[in-house]
Amino acid sequence: MAIKTPDWVKHAVFYQIYPDSFARKVPPHQKWLLDVPLEDWDAPPTFQGYKGGNLWGVIDKLDYLQDLGVTALYFTPIFRSASNHRYHPQDYYAIDPLLGEREAFDQLLKTAHDKGFKVILDGVFNHASRGFFFFNDILENGPNSPWLDWFKIEGWPLSAYDGNFPANYVSWIDYRALPQFNHNNPGVREYIMQVGEYWLKQGIDGWRLDVPDCVKAEGFWEEFRERVKAVNPEAYIVGEIAFDASQWLDGKQFDGVMNYPFGRLTAGFIIGDRLDKETIPHFYEPYETLDAEGYAKGIEELLARHPWEIQLTQLNLLDSHDTPRFLSIAGGDRTLAKLATLLLFTFPGTPNLFYGDEIGIEGSHDPDARKGFPTEDKWDQDALAYHKQLIQIRKQYKALCTGEYQTVYAQGEVYIFARILGEEGLIIAVNNGEETAKIAVTDFKKIPAILQNKPSNLVYGEGSIKWDNKQLNLTIPSRCGLILA
Whole-number Å distance between alpha carbons of 407 and 291: 14
Residues near 287 by beta carbon (within 8 Å), at least 6 away in sequence: 264, 267, 268, 275, 280
Q: Which of 39, 205, 240, 357 is catalytic?
A: 240
Tell me which residue of 102, 79, 100, 105 sits closest to 91, measured CA to CA: 79
Q: How many CB atoms lie within 10 A of CB 307?
A: 14
Of the candidates 164, 253, 241, 243, which has an alpha carbon nearest to the alpha carbon of residue 210?
241
Question: Quick check: is 291 catalytic?
Answer: no
Provide the 3-class DSSP secondary structure of residue 342: helix
Name 254's bridge partners: none
Cβ atoms within 10 A of the Cβ of 10, count?
17
Q: Of the residues 39, 210, 357, 362, which is catalytic?
A: 210
Cβ atoms 40, 97 nearer than 8 A: no
CA distance 19 to 98: 10
Q: How many angstroms separate the CA atoms of 356 and 362, rounded?
A: 9
- In the residue annotation, 39 being an active-site residue is answered as no
What are the φ and ψ backbone dihedral angles of 95, each rounded to 5 degrees? -80, 140
Task: Supply the residues annotated as catalytic.
Answer: 210, 240
